[in-house]
Amino acid sequence: MDDIAFVALGSNIGDRERHLADARSRIEKISGVVILAESMVEETAPIGPVKQGPYLNQMIALGTSLPPAELLARLHEVEVLGDRVRTARWGPRTIDLDIVKYARTTWNSPELRVPHDEIDNRDFWQRELAELAEVMI
């Protein structure tokens, strides 16, 4: 594997735990990706202006040979398989997958910025990244 990607998983519709588990299972099957570690799952309040229920969130560390844009395309496929429907920005969803950062790679395109623009604004991401750092030592 060339790098480590940190991917945030979130769900706040339906069987949230099942959506996270299904996403992890599908991510494991992506060619060029290996799940190295998983944070604990935690419940968080929704972010943004849309009224909705709480999220279950988790961060995973992926060993990957995929560049960020290609990994994002594969993650979008996982979201589609998980019945993700893109409606309102920051709205409710069955599954949301965000590339939060890569260990050694940055990326800047109209579709994707790595590290993620919101990395410093999401306390739960900071906790999950710290947990993964401890596990991966």
**Of 22, 26, 74, 98, which is the active-site residue?**
98
Note the helical H segments in the chain. 16-28, 68-81, 123-135
**Of 26, 74, 93, 122, which is the active-site residue?**
93
84 a catalytic residue: yes
Rounded Cα distance, 26 and 30, in Å: 7
**Of 24, 96, 117, 123, which is the active-site residue?**
96
104 a catalytic residue: no
Closest by Cα among 79, 74, 24, 12 to 48: 12
**Of 18, 84, 86, 113, which is the active-site residue?**
84
117 a catalytic residue: no
93 a catalytic residue: yes
Per DSSP, the residues of 56-94 read: EEEEEEEEE-S-HHHHHHHHHHHHHHTT----STT---S
Active site residues: 84, 93, 96, 98
